[in-house]
C-alpha cells in the first residue's frame, strides 16, 4: 500500500465513524482535525483515533489502553489481539459509554 492509499483507507474509516455517530442513539460527540478523530463521551472520557502514516497504521487510544491496527486482507486488524476494528470500536465505545453502542 502506498501513502495515498493509506490516507484514503483511514479517511474512509473516519467518515464512516462520523456518519455512524450522527445516527447513534447514544450521545457521543466527536471532533476531527489533521488526521485525528476524537470521540467524546458524556462522562468526559475519550477515544482518540489517529493516523500513523510512517507505519501505515491506525492507532486507537481508549480509556483503558492503546491499540495499533494494520490493514490486512481488506480489514483493519489489531496487531496484538487480532480483533477486527469495527468489532473493537463497538466494544470500546460501549464500555466507555456504559451502554451498548453500535457503530459498525
Mean of pLDDT values over 52-70: 96
pTM of the model: 0.91
Mean of pLDDT values over 76-81: 96
Residue ranges covered by each domain of the chain: 3-97
CB-based contact 98:43 (threshold 8 Å): yes
Query: Mean of the per-residue pLDDT values for the chain?
Result: 95
Mean of pLDDT values over 66-93: 97
- How confident is the model at residue 79, as a pLDDT? 96
Place 82 in a pLDDT band, splitting at 50, 70 and 90.
very high
Mean of pLDDT values over 33-59: 95
103 three-state secondary structure:
coil
Residue 103's alpha-carbon distances to 1, 10, 24, 43, 67, in angstroms, are 26, 16, 7, 19, 18
CATH of 3-97, one of 3.50.50.60, 1.10.4000.10, 3.30.450.20, 3.30.920.10: 3.30.920.10
- How confident is the model at residue 10, as a pLDDT? 96
- How confident is the model at residue 47, as a pLDDT? 97
Query: What is the distance between the alpha carbons of residues 92 and 95, in angstroms, rounded to a whole number?
Result: 5
CB-based contact 26:101 (threshold 8 Å): yes
Amino acid at each position: 500500500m502506498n501513502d495515498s492509499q493509506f490516507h484514503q483507507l483511514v479517511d474512509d474509516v473516519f467518515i464512516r465513524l462520523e456518519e455512524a455517530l450522527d445516527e447513534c442513539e447514544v450521545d457521543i460527540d466527536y471532533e476531527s482535525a489533521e488526521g485525528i478523530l476524537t470521540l467524546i463521551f458524556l462522562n468526559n472520557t475519550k477515544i482518540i483515533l489517529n493516523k500513523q502514516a510512517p507505519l501505515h497504521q491506525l492507532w486507537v487510544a481508549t480509556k483503558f489502553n492503546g491499540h495499533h491496527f494494520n490493514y490486512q486482507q481488506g480489514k483493519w486488524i489489531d496487531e496484538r489481539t487480532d480483533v477486527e476494528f469495527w468489532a473493537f470500536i463497538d466494544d470500546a465505545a460501549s464500555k466507555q459509554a456504559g451502554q451498548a453502542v453500535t457503530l459498525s
